[in-house]
């Protein structure tokens, strides 16, 4: 388990009003009139997707009110209105949750207040250590890697050898060149990470560490900058991951991410192989190889673009 990273310099918090404006605008741009049953007259449209007036008509609110909302100027928006707008935009569950966070932000403070350090319960660390053949780790806010077991290090890299500020899944995916070799679908993994950070930005817009991380990745990674601007969000759930390990080769693993009931800001992440499969044998090889994680390519001191 890692200690809390050192303090960061003060940085402007994420502006929920701008986040709300851009999120609604990008969701409107995905829809065409014919997608939602509106007549399309073939006229030249100045912007992609639905117009504000069309979205307001679908949601049953005035165009003026929706415009104020999209500009971040509507106050005390009701749950019924948000639900109607979410229905009109055909938002999924994660997008609806994100919209609710953006439209009803917590009371703003005069300046950003550092969040409390996250700690992993000793019992949870004991559970991780007992998972002999299952790579597992705990993610906290802003994709911080809070705890891990030996198999996670063997599969993904030695987290303990990294400086605390680099024990972060977003930082590793975008700044460590080894991640491009490890994940067969690196873009899919990277987009999932960006979508997770977007959800965090909606929940905790005044987190200075999150703002600093987003700022660093935006400057150093053009891919992050492009996908961050899309304002996509996704929920957690099971999926399959294809990895190419530098020692045991290709692995097909089931990826599970489970939000912890005792602390919703922490998530248990596991990789598991189908019993009897070549991937299961590869994990057993990693487990029996050595108690010291295998050497992986060293993370550059300043990362890469």
Asked whether the beta carbons of 109 and 53 are under 8 A apart, the reply is no
Q: How far apart, in whole angstroms, are the C-alpha atoms of residue 231 and residue 202? A: 11
Q: How far apart, in whole angstroms, are the C-alpha atoms of residue 10 and residue 270? A: 34
Residues of the chain with pLDDT under 70: 1-13, 40-45, 105-115, 290-305
Beta bridge partners of 240: 254
Q: Which residues contact 214 (CB under 8 A, 6 or more apart)?
A: 14, 197, 201, 228
Q: How far is CA 40 from CA 33, 34, 37, 59, 215, in A?
A: 6, 6, 9, 18, 41
The whole-number pLDDT of residue 45 equals 67
Q: In what order do the strands lie in the sheet with 136-139?
A: 145-148, 136-139, 263-272, 249-260, 239-245
The whole-number pLDDT of residue 115 equals 62
125-145 burial, b at 16+ Cβ within 10 Å, e below that, comes to beebeebeebbbbbbbbbbbb
Cα angle 208, 187, 268; round to 5:
60
Q: How far apart, in whole angstroms, are the C-alpha atoms of residue 103 and residue 21? A: 10
The reported pTM is 0.83
Tokens for 72?
């971040």
Q: How far apart, in whole angstroms, are the C-alpha atoms of residue 167 and residue 122? A: 19
Q: How far is CA 161 from CA 1, 124, 127, 157, 296, in A?
A: 12, 21, 22, 9, 11
How does DSSP classify residue 283?
H
The whole-number pLDDT of residue 241 equals 92
Q: How far apart, in whole angstroms, are the C-alpha atoms of residue 251 and residue 245? A: 7
The whole-number pLDDT of residue 133 equals 87
């Amino acid at each position: 388990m890692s200690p809390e990273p050192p303090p960061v310099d003060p940085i402007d918090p994420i502006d929920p009003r701008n986040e709300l404006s851009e999120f609604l605008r990008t969701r409107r741009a995905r829809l065409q009139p014919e997608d939602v049953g509106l007549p399309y007259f073939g006229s030249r449209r100045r912007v992609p997707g639905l117009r504000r007036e069309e979205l307001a008509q679908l949601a049953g609110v005035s165009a003026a009110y929706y415009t104020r909302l999209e500009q971040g100027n509507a106050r005390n928006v009701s749950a019924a209105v948000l639900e109607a707008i979410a229905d009109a935009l055909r938002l999924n569950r994660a997008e609806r949750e994100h919209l609710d966070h953006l439209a009803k932000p917590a009371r703003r403070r005069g300046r950003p207040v550092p969040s409390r350090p996250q700690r992993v319960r000793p019992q949870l660390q004991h559970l991780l250590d007992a998972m002999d053949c299952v790579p597992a780790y705990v993610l906290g806010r802003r994709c911080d890697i809070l705890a891990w077991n030996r198999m996670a290090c063997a599969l993904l890299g030695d987290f303990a050898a990294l400086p605390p500020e680099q024990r972060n899944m977003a930082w590793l995916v975008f700044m460590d060149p080894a991640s491009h070799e490890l994940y067969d679908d690196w873009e899919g993994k990277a987009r999932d990470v960006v979508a997770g950070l977007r959800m965090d930005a909606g929940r905790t817009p005044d987190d200075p560490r999150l703002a600093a991380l987003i700022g660093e990745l935006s400057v150093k990674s053009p891919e992050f900058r492009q996908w961050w601007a899309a304002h996509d969000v996704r929920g957690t759930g099971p999926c399959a991951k294809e990895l190419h390990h530098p020692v045991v080769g290709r692995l097909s693993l089931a990826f599970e991410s489970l939000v912890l009931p005792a602390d919703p800001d922490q998530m248990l992440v596991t990789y598991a192989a189908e019993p009897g499969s070549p991937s299961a044998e590869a994990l057993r090889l990693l487990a029996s190889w050595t108690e010291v994680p295998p050497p992986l390519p060293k993370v550059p001191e300043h990362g890469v673009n």
